[in-house]
């Protein structure tokens, strides 16, 4: 055992050195954004350890001269100067008769899309992506828009047919004799490579003479109705029209449909207020006695109205008979009506 003072000091010095060695180490380092590092991450690093960093694929140093490593000094890491940013693919280039749209920018991972000027269409791939080595694919090309010949129609045709038509070129249709063109006669090669609006139709359109009873025609033709011909009707006196009297010959027939002329309904008779039956004035209610219930009394005789009517008729008849008897008497006597007989005529 060490019992001298110098020996004790030596042991103490060894302990201090050992403690210093234990404390002289670094913990895990913080990983920078968008970076790789070497060696692999550890829980503890001895004093003097060095870790080297590099940018991920598609990223480049912000400052090419910045330090790319850190070192463990005692129990702390030195400062890392390296910072990484996305790699730029630069200007994708000019597009004849168009341009590139860059909503995501022009850095690594961004996608750009070509937009052609009006009347032009892109040929080939429309999009490009920014990769590690720059823009992929080939530069876009915008060529003048072309339309294939429009479709043919029944009972009609259009002017001389070409193999293709340029932007804004117009094709005009016409119908065979007797047919009506429905739609736009001229269609145009649009910017998306199709003709607009759709081709028209050629239809045979006729309408039969309307059968409107109790009406007269006040306008339009009398027969043989074609497309857009019109006729107008008016009901005769005493009839009311139901519908519209002005009709136009349309694709599906008369528009609107023919009206009807109807006689108006008879007026409703005036309503009489209901009569209220008369009721006799209330009288004293007889109090029932102890005997049996009284039997109903005799019915009252009919009023004098019918008797008076019969008497008047008999009197008139009797007067007529007396008048006739007087006339007969004077005729038998040979006297005139109302003449007074003389004494000789009387035979006195």
Q: What is the pLDDT of residues 312-345, one digit of tens each?
A: 666 666 667 767 766 656 565 554 444 444 444 4
Predicted pLDDT of residue 2: 53
Distance of CA 272 to the CA centre of its chain: 53
Calpha distance 68→207 (Å, rounded): 91
Sheet holding 76-77, edge to edge: 35-38, 50-55, 69-73, 76-77
CB–CB of 165/144 below 8 Å? no
49 vs 223, higher pLDDT: 49
pLDDT at position 90 over 70:
yes
Q: For position 336, what pLDDT does the model report? A: 46
At 280 the pLDDT is 56
12 pLDDT exceeds 70? no
If one compares 153 and 265, the residue with the highest pLDDT of the two is 153
Structure token digits, residue 144: 């003048």
List the beta bridge partners of residue 231: 220, 247
- 273-315 per-position pLDDT tens digit: 666 655 555 555 555 544 444 444 444 444 444 444 455 666 6
Mean pLDDT over all residues of the chain? 81
Give the model's pLDDT for residue 4.
Answer: 60
């Amino acid at each position: 055992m060490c019992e001298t003072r110098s020996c004790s000091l030596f042991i103490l010095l060894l302990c201090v050195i050992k403690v210093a060695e234990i404390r002289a180490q670094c913990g895990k380092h913080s990983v920078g954004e968008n970076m790789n590092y070497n060696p692999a991450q550890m829980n503890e690093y001895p004093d003097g350890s060095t870790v080297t960093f590099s940018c991920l694929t598609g990223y480049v140093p912000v400052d090419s001269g910045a330090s790319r490593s850190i070192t463990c000094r005692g129990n702390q890491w030195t400062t890392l100067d390296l910072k990484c940013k996305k790699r730029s693919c630069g200007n994708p280039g000019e597009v004849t008769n168009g341009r590139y749209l860059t909503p995501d920018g022009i850095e690594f991972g961004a996608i750009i899309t070509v937009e052609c000027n009006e009347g032009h269409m892109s040929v080939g791939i429309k999009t490009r992506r920014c990769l590690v080595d720059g823009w992929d694919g080939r530069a876009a090309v915008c060529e003048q828009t072309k339309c294939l010949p429009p479709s043919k129609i029944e009972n009609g045709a259009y002017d001389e047919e070409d193999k293709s038509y340029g932007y804004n070129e117009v094709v005009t249709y016409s119908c065979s004799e007797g047919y009506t063109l429905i739609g736009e006669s001229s269609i145009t090669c649009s910017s998306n490579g199709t003709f607009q609006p759709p081709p028209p139709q050629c239809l045979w359109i006729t309408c039969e003479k309307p059968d409107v009873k109790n009406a007269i025609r006040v306008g339009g033709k009398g027969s043989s109705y074609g497309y857009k011909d019109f006729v107008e009707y008016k009901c005769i006196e005493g009839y009311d029209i139901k519908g519209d009297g002005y009709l136009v010959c349309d694709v599906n027939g008369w528009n609107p449909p023919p009206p009807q002329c109807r006689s108006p309904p008879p007026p409703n008779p005036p309503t009489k207020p209901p009569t209220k039956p008369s009721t006799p004035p209330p009288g004293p209610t007889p109090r029932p006695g102890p005997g049996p219930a009284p039997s109903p009394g005799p019915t009252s005789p009919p009023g004098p109205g019918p008797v008076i009517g019969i008497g008047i008729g008999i009197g008139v008849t009797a007067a007529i008979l007396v008048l006739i008897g007087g006339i007969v008497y004077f005729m038998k006597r040979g006297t005139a009506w109302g003449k007074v007989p003389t004494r000789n005529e009387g035979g006195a």
